[in-house]
Structure 1
Amino acid sequence: MVQVAPTPVLSLRGICKRYGAVQALLDVELDIQAGEVVALVGDNGAGKSTLVKVITGVDPADEGVIEWNGRPVRINSPHDAQTLGIASVYQDLALCESLDVVGNIFLGHEICVAGVLDEVAMERRARRMDLLDSLSAHLPSVRVPVASLSAGQRQTVAISRALLSEPELLILDEPTAALGVSQTAHLLDLIDRLRDHGRGVLLISHDLGDVKAIADKVAVLRLGRNNGFFDVPTTSQEQIVSSITGATDNAVTHRKTRPWEATL
């Protein structure tokens, strides 16, 4: 009996983006399944940030097809991406340090009753959020200012805020860049829990140790093009590095090529 592969939650085909004379992305392809962590890696200038901007609607693609749960969609703005179920946490986290944990989670999505903030309802809902369970164990209260939190705790708050809308796909941009060893381990545990809850995760990272520890698949960009798709359990770190640096040419040049069928 032939097994039919599940439909990806997000599928990119032939994505192109140009800035004047610079071809930032050329025929880029990417698939992300529900309950899967896909790492997007590449050297500086490889096109990772541009591809994230395309997916989140910050800077729409010039050409190509984006499919969401099997149907073609247009993502022309961040609102379009959020409506579909795409959330992102950028490296700067965009937290307001003068607000407490609850205030940051609901920033821009406050619960109001008769024009007045319902602090009790927001705190109650925040405490029910899965990711805050472990965070609350290390805090005297979810009412402490974010300015008093560690880098790892702030990362958890930012992720919790992104999950408030219950997205199907979460994009994490260099989430461990400013974290220590123990904080990184805690964050990787959180990503693992997101996968267990059936969410797709796109992880942008320069740390191949983190990638090998948590990702299911790796997509390599080089000079704005695909240069390899790898299953993490069967691929060595050296093979991924070779693809990043260009020592191994795995470029996907045909739009109909299925990403995970690319050979090493």
Structure 2
Amino acid sequence: MTAPNKVVEMTGIEKRFGPVEVLRGVDFELYENEVLALLGDNGAGKSTLIKTLSGYYQPDAGQIQIGGQAVSFGTPHEARDHGIETIYQDLALFDNLDVAANVFAGKEKVGGGWRKMLGFVDRKAMRNEAREAVSQMAINIPRIDQEVSAFSGGQRQCVAIAKSVMWGRKVVIMDEPTAALGVRETGKVLDLIRTLKSHNLSVIVIMHNIEHVMEVAERAIVMRSGTRRGTVNLNGPQDRESHDEIVKMLM
């Protein structure tokens, strides 16, 4: 059986902020069509590692490879150009804009002919494409032209995920996607995460809730004090052995 290809490989990543060594020679890998959980207590280095992968920070040492090619990201824009999209806890949505405008924010479609010359945005085309993306992912949103300020927390999270799927060609990173959501909305978001593999995407989720991790992830990397503590292969919510192994690594 052929081993899956690595979409991301980070080797020997180090990051310091002044005298504080936040990442200490961390190795990290993400495979094609994989949902990977990145776990650890506050201060373990999870967010710093992800921000290094997504171009917000530059490593002091180590190498990043995307699809087997060495890369160096100076900005988040450069990471997005390589197909890496990140959804942070604040979601970075514009409350006063509708779903389509949020999905295309910064990448607005311009009409043809004289409209293109004058820079007029093609709102109809944007709404049609956003509606199709939302429909393909079975996201329950009342209206595509409704301002997201009227949406629930779960619906807002789904809009952010739909946006990342449209633009993330390889990797989607989610920082606490179920934080502050109720039970029902959490279930919808977890269902949506599971469907991302069908879009040929690899997913990294940062979560503190181990039960949620067991529901969606195939593998978990546990970090502690800026190092990689270990890796656990997961086999669904009933896999208590792996669950207990994660708990031991976190202690």
TM-score (norm 1): 0.87
Cα distance per residue 1:9-38 (max 9 Å; x no partner):
001111111111111001111111111000
Which residue number in structure 2 is paired with residue 190 of structure 1? 192
| 2:13–2:60 contact (8 Å) kept in structure 1 | yes
1:73 Cα deviation from its structure 2 partner: 1.4
1:59 Cα deviation from its structure 2 partner: 0.6
Structure 1 pair 79–196 and aligned structure 2 pair: CA distance change class (3 A)? same
Secondary structure of 1:67's counterpart equals strand
Which residue number in structure 1 is paired with residue 157 of structure 2? 155
Structure 1 segments unaligned to the other structure (5+ residues): 246-264
Which residue number in structure 2 is paired with residue 87 of structure 1? 85
1:149 Cα deviation from its structure 2 partner: 0.3
Which residue number in structure 2 is paired with residue 173 of structure 1? 175
1:56 Cα deviation from its structure 2 partner: 0.4
Q: Which moved more, 1:68-77 or 1:25-34?
A: 68-77
Which residue number in structure 2 is paired with residue 212 of structure 1? 214
Count of residue correspondences = 241
Secondary structure of 1:219's counterpart equals strand
Q: Distance in 1 between matches of 2:137 and 2:31?
A: 26
**Corresponding letter in the other structure for 1:236:** S
Q: Sequence identity, in percent?
A: 39
Q: Distance in 2 between matches of 1:244 and 1:178?
A: 22
1:52 Cα deviation from its structure 2 partner: 0.9
Q: Distance in 2 between matches of 1:128 and 1:186?
A: 19
Which residue number in structure 2 is paired with residue 52 of structure 1? 50
Cα distance per residue 1:46-97 (max 9 Å; x no partner):
0011001100010111111111111211122112211111001000001111
Which residue number in structure 2 is paired with residue 122 of structure 1? 126
Structure 1 pair 217–224 and aligned structure 2 pair: CA distance change class (3 A)? same
| 1:205–1:211 contact (8 Å) kept in structure 2 | yes
Q: Distance in 1 between matches of 2:168 and 2:174?
A: 15
| 1:217–1:229 contact (8 Å) kept in structure 2 | yes
Q: Distance in 2 between matches of 1:12 and 1:107?
A: 30
Aligned pairs for 1:1-264 within 5 A: 3-113=1-111, 114=116, 115-130=119-134, 134-135=138-139, 137-139=140-142, 141-233=143-235, 235-245=241-251
For the aligned residue pairs, the C-alpha RMSD in angstroms reads: 1.4
Structure 2 segments unaligned to the other structure (5+ residues): none
| 2:137–2:162 contact (8 Å) kept in structure 1 | no
Structure 1 pair 62–167 and aligned structure 2 pair: CA distance change class (3 A)? same
Secondary structure of 2:89's counterpart equals coil
1:6 Cα deviation from its structure 2 partner: 2.7
1:131 Cα deviation from its structure 2 partner: 5.8
1:5 Cα deviation from its structure 2 partner: 2.0
Secondary structure of 1:117's counterpart equals coil
Secondary structure of 1:112's counterpart equals coil
1:241 Cα deviation from its structure 2 partner: 1.3
Structure 1 pair 76–239 and aligned structure 2 pair: CA distance change class (3 A)? same
**Corresponding letter in the other structure for 1:213:** E
1:138 Cα deviation from its structure 2 partner: 4.4
Q: Distance in 1 between matches of 2:137 and 2:65?
A: 34
1:210 Cα deviation from its structure 2 partner: 0.6
Q: Distance in 1 between matches of 2:135 and 2:154?
A: 12
1:163 Cα deviation from its structure 2 partner: 2.1
Q: Distance in 2 between matches of 1:29 and 1:131?
A: 37
Q: Distance in 1 between matches of 2:177 and 2:49?
A: 17
Secondary structure of 1:116's counterpart equals coil
